[in-house]
Amino acid sequence: MAALDLLTADLRNIFGTRLQSLVVYHAIASAPPSEKTTEPIHALALVDQVTFEDVAACAARNSGWERQGLAAPLVMSMNEFVRSLDAFPLEYGQIIAAHRVIAGSDPFEGLSFKAEDIRRACEVQAKSHLIHLREAYIETGGRPALVAHLIVASVAPFKALLASVVRLRGRSGDQTPELVREAEAIGLPPSTVQRILELKQARDLASGETVHLFPAYLSAVERLASRVDEWK
């Protein structure tokens, strides 16, 4: 892929032998190398050290990367990455779980996460989602049309939260049927979870349904936050 060839060449020009590994992650990682993607290509460059001059050199090339469909790459030292595993177990876990090596060696061999770090990160994610839902509902004034927009806007973070809980349970999967099954296994109402995850647009919700769906949704998130908080 021309975009990744460009990124690799530019990073090697900037870092030289200090570039240890370059990986892509998320959707692009599971796609065949020859397959085109409409999503920005996310990459992580692990190097010996990062200076301001390195960051400035990357910034000078970013417009060219954007034209090639590349997101600004994450650039950090391998030591920074390893020492941050406990702080970002969910985010880094997703990278490790779905990545493809573009240059250098696979940097993630032998790396692991502590179960308590994942639980704590899930707790933060769940309670943040709960607090946001309550605050945002108050801001809507309870008006069904605005509540419908609130629910739809919350679908992506709710899906990410459920995927994190799946990881906490020692499983994998981020598709709706899998998430609904895992949610039911920890006591969430599957019909409510299913309905939330399948929503695409606010107009998919009639006023009458919105009035009943939001309390059920909020109750499910409250239950989820409580379960994660008590996780053993």
Structural domain including 36 reads 2-104
What is the model's pLDDT at position 168?
87
Residue 19: inside a domain: yes
Residue 219 has pLDDT above 90, yes or no: yes
pLDDT band for position 113 (cuts 50, 70, 90)? confident
**Total domain count, the chain:** 2
Supply 97's token pair: 């779980």
Q: Is the pLDDT of residue 30 over 90?
A: no
Please indicate whether residue 128 or residue 31 has the higher confidence score (pLDDT): 128
pLDDT band at 158 (very low <50, low <70, confident <90, very high): very high
Q: Are residues 123 and 224 in the same domain?
A: yes
Alpha carbons 84 and 79: distance in angstroms, whole number: 8
Same domain assignment for residues 54 and 147: no
Residue 80 lies in a domain: yes
The answer to whether residues 62 and 3 touch, using CB atoms and an 8 Å cutoff, is no
Residues 6+ apart with CB under 8 A from 162: 179, 182, 183, 193, 197
Q: Given a cut of 90, is residue 38 above it in pLDDT?
A: no
Tell me what the mean pLDDT of segment 84-100 comes to: 89
Task: Tell me the average pLDDT across 84-102.
Answer: 90
* pLDDT interval class at 167 (50, 70, 90): confident
pTM of the predicted structure, to 2 decimals: 0.72
- 119 shares its domain with 66: no
Say if CB 148 and CB 202 are below 8 A apart: yes
In a domain, 92, yes or no: yes
Domain boundary, last residue among 53, 80, 104: 104
Please tell me the distance from the alpha carbon of residue 190 to that of residue 183, in angstroms, as a whole number. Answer: 7
